[in-house]
A = this chain, B = another copy of it.
Amino acid sequence: MAEAAGAEDKTPRTERGRRTRRALLDAAALEFGEHGFHLASISAITRRAGVALGSFYTYFDSKDAIFRALVSDMSARVRDHVAPAIRGAPDALAAERAGLDSFLGFVRDHKEIYRIIDEAEFVDPASFRRHYASTAERIAHRLREAAARGEVRADVEDAHAWAVMGMNVFLGLRYGVWAEDRPTGQVADVIADFLRRGLAA
């Protein structure tokens, strides 16, 4: 039900197959995260997953294919992690703060995601655009609704949504590099305050 809806029928039919596929995906996340797409090797992935090299091709057609599967897997997990935090927020600006905080936390716990998402643009441009476009659209949608409710300035436009996403992505993906010791909440607070004043009605 993930990458391309049935692709070519590489879907495992047995429980054992399901476990092997999962192991490969997890191993791939680590390998791609550590070495990047081009330096990651399929033989390293299978070694990490504890299966024979040839078994890889029982589940994925190619190196590209597993990368794509991984990206959509991770997008979904990020979304599933961030969405509840946003939904629980009292108003639009609190939602943005909660979303950033939740994203920072997720990345901190899954450092591999950082490089994988960054490379997705070049390895799989189509899914990259889909990913960012849908994120931006979600933010824009929230802002427009908030404007209608009078929570934020009435003249918000899409550029604001992209700017917010840009800050979040840049801060989120580089947070480990930038300031590992700083609690994520603190950063989220500074940015939330900045957003509030920039976007307030």
A residues lining the B interface (CB < 8 Å): 36-39, 93, 115, 118-119, 121-122, 129, 132, 143, 147, 150-154, 156-157, 159-160, 162-163, 165-171, 174, 177-178, 187, 190-191, 194-201
Contacts and interface: CB of A to CB of B under 8 A. Distances in A.
B36 A122 contact: yes
A contact face: mostly helix, strand, loop, or mixed: helix
Contact of A122 (B115, B162, B190): B115
A4 to B, nearest CB: 20
A119 B122 CA distance: 10
Given A118-B121, A121-B118, A157 B190 contact: yes
Count of this chain's copies in the oligomeric assembly:
4
Given A165-B170, A166-B170, A167-B166, A199 B143 contact: yes
A162 B100 CA distance: 14
Given A122-B115, A129-B177, A190-B159, A200 B166 contact: no
In this complex, the member of A119, A147, A166 whose beta carbon has the largest number of chain B beta carbons within 10 angstroms is A166
Contacts of A162: 170-171, 178
Contacts of A169: 166, 170
